[in-house]
Amino acid sequence: MDRDEMVRIDEAITDAIGAGDLDALDGLMGPELAVDFREGISQIRRAFPDYAGAATRRVVEGDRMATRFVYHGTHKGTWLGVAPTGRRVTFNGISLNLFANGVMVEADVVMDWLDVLEQLGGYSETDR
């Protein structure tokens, strides 16, 4: 699979997540990964219904892609024990992805959840 195709798939996944069209993941990811993503993104979207974002940087080597991303969402449901605040939150993270047979088959996603909690007021330096 070439770089352009991997970028196209990654962009389509990002668009599907932002639109809340999680069924679209079935054609973009391997079956197990699509199920995992649908579950995780559904949980996030219950608390942040407008959760959407974009890749800010991609590095491709062979069949692997590292993606830095930023998402935003408005806190309208309980998240990590914090009641809805109505705050607009920024989510920063990276995803290390593997592609095969025209789809993404692995994604190791790391998100800065401590930063999200701080933005929600659910954690501060004095909590240490």
What does the pLDDT read at residue 116? 95
d(CA 24, CA 15): 10
Q: What Å distances lie between residue 17 and 22, 45, 55, 86, 124, CA to CA?
A: 6, 9, 12, 21, 29
What does the pLDDT read at residue 122? 80
What does the pLDDT read at residue 41? 97
Domains of the chain: 3-127 (3.10.450.50)
DSSP secondary structure letters along 99-119: EETTEEEEEEEEE-HHHHHHH
Mean pLDDT in order along the chain per 10 residues (128 residues) = 96 97 97 97 97 97 98 96 96 98 97 94 67
What does the pLDDT read at residue 70? 98
